[in-house]
């Protein structure tokens, strides 16, 4: 049997879809009430939302902002909404918010923290958004010294001379790389910088301070607390752990036995140890390894160990991204004559990091939340450290939900921003057009 | 393709040696993948390598730019011997272009960036100049209008022509092709082959692993047949196709010519 021959000679016009297939009604029907089970789940969900709101909304709505103690809060609520009514006592925040933000940082120097925070965004902008003029990257380069100086105060020459150590590293690296290759030049640069910090830092900074004394009132590390502390530790260890993690990932994939073994040992050891242990190491053990008489700031020590901790995780995340690239990418880079470091920097890492963005940002988010664990070594994190102090005050004894809700809300805003940024970045870097 | 085909004999081959392979052997573990390879490629020669799957064709041409390492024997490319000396390897790689079966373009870079990357970072060419060279070769492979797109937005045939242009931007003296058309749909094969034919007519030294026998007849001045890691037979194309000597060659030709 043969099909009758057929030839279309007119083009059918485009028709609008039938009415039921459009709009909100269709969406509701398809997504919420498409079957018995779905209908049941929708109703159960609505009931749960209703129950939650019924339980908590009055508490929020009865909130009191203007009072001097928890007792006063309670009597205001009782007077306004009747005996037995529950309500939030936000007055506590109104009186103590500065401790949640700054810890025991001297109030007359709050502007320094504020300025450092604003400048942080200026420094981050060219890193986060390529539309920002590249010239601003110089601001990013000097920000660590500037931020440190604003927060801790003291002579400006300390941070400047410390930055000069990094300048020295870069210079040695740039001069020696054509002769000795990346690893040796980098290593020598690092040695030069360490020597600079050990032997030149003190005298040079002292000399410059003598010639031109510029400084701010110093603030001791034990005055830091609250979100100031979380953000200082979070931002520095995020910024430092990514490059370190990338180096570890490269090390783990290296052909050189020693480099590979050391990287694997480092990553596996650090990942096998709880963060709390690392923090105790920072606060107690590290002192034993350092030459006697050196006093090494606790925040700095914690920072270093948190960085190392995050770097071990990032190394594995980045390595996963590298492993996901087809072998052809390496071969094409080799065939074009690119050397190892150029190939990694120009071909492999941009793609590997792009693949790993969601996991990298997850690691950053969990790192940032983990900064609250520093309360275990006596630092005043916002969640436990500051909340405990506030609740120990006679006036606010018994305040329970409010500090945690506030701290939780701030953490949520910060972490959610990171998450949104990661999604933005993924969309922007999408070039595969799948 | 017939119109572009010329008599391959007319194209210039000089006496200068471009690639010299002597008594070369390679093993993958205990598997002897290349056995006693001897061959001389002169400047301007267009050599087609064919043979059954697994016969070591890819491995052979990948040894020439040291994507694979040989264990014994000698490979000398443009006067530079390939040893574990990284300087020599980089020198050879920047003189030898390679085109892969799966293009291997860099998906995170635009077409123009794909083309200028190696000139800028390996040859240290100023960006502006590298871009001019890149546009020149994009015009040559007839897709200058795609310069700002990403590889993922191009058809397979276009991607392979970009890959050829990317190699040419390094001004190589030798080009290696590893089955450049076997990942392509039939209607795209011609556009890639035309590009390669044009390149051959300009006197490029080419080693090409391919089963496109039309291409071999049009431009090759020598066809090499490999089987089980050895060079079994080599001859100029007309003799090779019309009058194969070895039984294995006859069997292979009857299979791929298929009728
Ligand atoms: N990395 C490797 N490790 C071990 N064996 C390999 C490896 N690469 C290739 N081989 C083996 O070496 C032999 C030759 O491989 P090669 O890729 O050179 O063949 P080919 O002639 O290019 O085949 P095809 O036409 O399928 O591309 C095959 O038997 C293959 O299985
Ligand atoms: Mg092959």
| Location of structure tokens 């082959």 | B193
Cβ-Cβ contacts under 8 Å, B58 against chain A: none
- Judge: A336–B117 Cβ closer than 8 Å, yes or no: yes
By the CB < 8 Å criterion, does B167 face chain A? yes
- Give the best residue of B107, B116, B119 to mutate against chain A (max A CB count within 10 A): B107
**DSSP label of A394:** G
Q: Is A247 exposed, middle or buried (0-12, 13-18, 19+ CB in 10 A)?
A: middle
pLDDT of residue B160: 94
> Is residue A206 situated within a structural domain?
no
By alpha-carbon position, which residue is closest to atom 4 of ligand 1? B28
> Is residue A54 situated within a structural domain?
no
Rounded percentage of chain A residues whose pLDDT exceeds 70: 96
User: Residue A36: helix, strand or coil by DSSP?
Assistant: helix
CATH number (domain holding residue A321): 1.10.3720.10
CA B160 / ligand 2 centre spacing (Å): 16
Which tens digits make up the pLDDT trace of B193-223?
Answer: 999 999 999 999 999 999 988 899 889 999 9
- Judge: B152–A347 Cβ closer than 8 Å, yes or no: no
By the CB < 8 Å criterion, does B105 face chain A? yes
Name residue B40's beta-bridge partners: B20
**Which of B51, B58, B101, B178 for mutating ligand 1's site (highest number of atoms within 8 Å of CB)?**
B58
User: Residue A1: helix, strand or coil by DSSP?
Assistant: coil
Which tens digits make up the pLDDT trace of A261-304?
Answer: 999 999 999 999 999 998 888 888 777 776 666 667 888 889 99
Q: Is the ipTM of this complex over 0.95?
A: no
pLDDT of residue A11: 85
What average pLDDT does range A414-425 have in this prediction? 93
| Residues B170, B94 contacting (CB under 8 angstroms) | yes
Q: Does the pLDDT value for residue B19 go beyond 70?
A: yes
What average pLDDT does range B2-15 have in this prediction? 58
> Is residue A165 situated within a structural domain?
no
Q: Does the pLDDT value for residue A66 go beyond 90?
A: no
| Residues B153, B145 contacting (CB under 8 angstroms) | no
Which atom of ligand 1 approaches the CA of B101 most closely? 27
Q: Does the pLDDT value for residue A193 go beyond 90?
A: yes
- A18/B27 Cα distance (integer angstroms): 67
**DSSP label of B79:** T
Cβ-Cβ contacts under 8 Å, B167 against chain A: 335-336
- Give the best residue of A332, A341, A343 to mutate against chain B (max B CB count within 10 A): A332
Q: How far is CA A401 from the centre of its chain?
A: 26
Nearest CA in chain A to B87: A339
Q: Whole-number mean pLDDT of chain A?
A: 89
> Is residue A64 situated within a structural domain?
no
pLDDT of residue B1: 42
> Is residue A136 situated within a structural domain?
no
Structural tokens at position B13? 């081959």
Q: Closest partner residue to B67 among A334, A350, A433, by Cβ?
A: A334
Interface contacts A/B by beta carbons within 8 Å: 69
Which atom of ligand 1 approaches the CA of B55 most closely? 21
B225 versus B7: which is more confidently predicted?
A: B225
Which tens digits make up the pLDDT trace of A342-391?
Answer: 999 999 999 999 999 999 999 999 999 999 998 888 888 888 888 888 88
Structural tokens at position A322? 């590298």
- B215/B209 Cα distance (integer angstroms): 11
> Is residue A260 situated within a structural domain?
yes
Q: Does the pLDDT value for residue B10 go beyond 80?
A: no
User: Residue A96: helix, strand or coil by DSSP?
Assistant: helix
Which tens digits make up the pLDDT trace of A122-138?
Answer: 999 998 888 888 888 99
Which domain covers residue A415, as residue numbers? 224-433
pLDDT of residue B4: 43
| Location of structure tokens 């001019």 | B132
- CA geometry: angle at A308 spanning A304 and A310, to 5°? 115
| Residues A396, A92 contacting (CB under 8 angstroms) | yes
pLDDT of residue A6: 80
User: Residue A223: helix, strand or coil by DSSP?
Assistant: helix
Per the structure, how many domains does chain A have?
Answer: 1
Q: Worst-scoring range by mean pLDDT, A1-5, A185-189, B5-9, B16-20?
A: B5-9
Rounded percentage of chain B residues whose pLDDT exceeds 70: 95
Phi, psi of A403 (to 5 degrees): -65, -40
> Is residue A44 situated within a structural domain?
no
Which tens digits make up the pLDDT trace of B29-50?
Answer: 999 999 999 999 999 999 999 9
Which tens digits make up the pLDDT trace of A98-154?
Answer: 889 999 999 999 999 999 999 999 999 998 888 888 888 998 999 999 999 999 988
Cβ-Cβ contacts under 8 Å, A328 against chain B: 100, 102, 104
pLDDT of residue A214: 84
By the CB < 8 Å criterion, does A80 face chain B? no
Nearest alpha-carbon partner for B90 in A341, A254, A260: A341
By the CB < 8 Å criterion, does B124 face chain A? no
Q: Does the pLDDT value for residue A22 go beyond 90?
A: no
CA B117 / ligand 1 centre spacing (Å): 30
User: Residue A356: helix, strand or coil by DSSP?
Assistant: helix
Q: Whole-number mean pLDDT of chain B?
A: 91
Q: Closest partner residue to A338 among B104, B107, B122, by Cβ?
A: B122
Cβ-Cβ contacts under 8 Å, A331 against chain B: 67, 100, 104
What average pLDDT does range B133-148 have in this prediction? 93
Q: Does the pLDDT value for residue A434 go beyond 60?
A: no
> Is residue A82 situated within a structural domain?
no
By the CB < 8 Å criterion, does A350 face chain B? yes
Q: Closest partner residue to A336 among B107, B118, B150, by Cβ?
A: B118
Structural tokens at position A131? 């539309």
Count other Cβ atoms within 10 Å, centred on residue A162: 18
Q: How far is CA B9 from the centre of its chain?
A: 20
Find the distance separating the first CA and the last CA of chain A, reported in whole Å. 43
DSSP H stretches of helix in B10-56: none
- Judge: A432–B150 Cβ closer than 8 Å, yes or no: yes
Which tens digits make up the pLDDT trace of A216-244?
Answer: 888 888 889 999 999 999 999 999 999 99
User: Residue B74: helix, strand or coil by DSSP?
Assistant: strand
By alpha-carbon position, which residue is closest to atom 2 of ligand 1? B28
| Location of structure tokens 């809700």 | A405
What average pLDDT does range A313-325 have in this prediction? 95
Ordered structural domains, chain B, with CATH: 17-257 (3.40.50.300)
- A419/A434 Cα distance (integer angstroms): 23
pLDDT of residue A432: 72
Q: Closest partner residue to B93 among A337, A354, A432, by Cβ?
A: A337
């Amino acid at each position: 049997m043969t099909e009758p021959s057929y030839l279309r000679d007119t083009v059918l016009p485009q028709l609008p879809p039938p009415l039921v297939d459009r709009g909100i009604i269709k969406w509701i029907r398809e997504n919420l009430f498409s079957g018995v089970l779905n209908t049941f789940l929708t109703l159960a969900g609505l009931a749960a939302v209703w129950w939650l709101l019924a339980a908590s909304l009055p508490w929020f709505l009865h909130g009191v902002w203007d009072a001097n103690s928890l007792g006063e809060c309670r009597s205001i609520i009782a007077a306004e909404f009747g005996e037995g009514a529950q309500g939030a006592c936000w007055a506590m925040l109104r009186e103590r918010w500065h401790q949640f933000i700054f810890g025991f940082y001297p109030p007359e120097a709050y502007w320094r923290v504020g300025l450092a925070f604003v400048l942080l965004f200026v420094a981050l902008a060219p890193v986060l958004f390529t539309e920002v003029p590249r010239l601003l990257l110089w601001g990013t380069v000097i920000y660590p010294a500037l931020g440190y100086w604003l927060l801790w105060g003291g002579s400006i020459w300390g941070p400047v001379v410390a930055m000069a150590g990094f300048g020295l590293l870069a210079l040695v690296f740039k001069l020696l790389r054509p002769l000795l290759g990346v690893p040796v030049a980098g290593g020598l640069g690092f040695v030069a910088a360490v020597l600079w910090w050990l032997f030149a830092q003190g005298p040079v900074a002292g000399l410059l301070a003598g010639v031109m004394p510029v400084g701010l009132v110093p603030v001791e590390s034990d005055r830091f607390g609250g979100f100031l502390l979380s953000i200082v530790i979070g931002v520095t260890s995020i910024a430092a752990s990514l490059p370190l993690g990338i180096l570890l990932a490269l090390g783990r994939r290296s052909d050189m036995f020693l480099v590979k073994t050391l990287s694997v040992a480092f990553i596996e050891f650090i990942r096998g140890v709880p963060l709390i242990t690392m923090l105790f190491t920072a606060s107690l053990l590290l002192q034993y390894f350092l030459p006697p008489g050196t006093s090494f700031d606790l925040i700095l020590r914690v920072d270093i160990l948190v960085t190392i901790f995050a770097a071990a995780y990032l190394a594995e995340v980045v390595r996963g991204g590298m492993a996901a690239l087809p072998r052809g990418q390496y071969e094409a880079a080799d065939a074009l004559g690119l050397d190892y470091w150029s190939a990694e920097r120009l071909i492999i890492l941009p793609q590997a990091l792009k693949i790993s963005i969601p996991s990298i940002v997850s690691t950053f988010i969990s790192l940032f939340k983990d900064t609250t664990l520093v309360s275990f070594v006596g630092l005043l994190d916002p969640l436990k450290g500051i909340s405990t102090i506030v609740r120990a005050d006679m006036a606010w004894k018994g305040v329970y939900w409010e500090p945690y809700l506030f701290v939780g809300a701030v953490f949520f805003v910060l972490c959610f921003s990171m998450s949104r940024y990661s999604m933005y970045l993924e969309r922007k870097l999408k070039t595969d057009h799948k | 393709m017939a119109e572009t085909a010329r008599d391959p004999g007319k194209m210039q081959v000089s006496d200068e040696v471009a690639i010299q392979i002597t008594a070369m052997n390679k093993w993958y573990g205990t598997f002897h993948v290349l056995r006693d390879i001897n061959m001389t490629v002169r400047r301007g020669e267009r050599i087609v390598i064919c043979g059954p799957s697994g016969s070591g064709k890819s491995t052979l041409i990948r040894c020439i730019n040291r994507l694979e390492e040989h264990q014994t024997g000698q490979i000398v490319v443009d006067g530079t011997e390939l040893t574990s000396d990284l300087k020599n390897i980089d020198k050879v790689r920047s003189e030898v272009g390679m085109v892969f079966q799966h293009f291997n373009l860099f998906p995170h870079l635009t077409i123009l960036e794909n083309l200028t990357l190696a000139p800028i970072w390996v040859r240290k060419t100023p960006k502006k100049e590298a871009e001019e060279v890149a546009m020149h070769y994009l015009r040559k492979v007839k897709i200058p209008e795609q310069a700002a797109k990403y590889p993922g937005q191009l058809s397979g045939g276009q991607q392979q022509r970009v890959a050829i242009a990317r190699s040419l931007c390094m001004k190589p003296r030798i080009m290696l092709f590893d089955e450049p058309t076997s990942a392509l749909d039939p209607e795209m094969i011609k556009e890639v082959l035309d590009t390669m034919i044009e390149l051959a007519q300009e006197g490029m030294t080419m080693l090409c692993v391919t089963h496109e026998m039309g291409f071999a007849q049009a431009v090759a001045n020598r066809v090499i047949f490999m089987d089980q890691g050895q060079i079994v037979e080599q001859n100029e194309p007309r003799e090779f196709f019309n009058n194969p000597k070895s039984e294995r060659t006859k069997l292979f030709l009857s299979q791929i010519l298929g009728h």
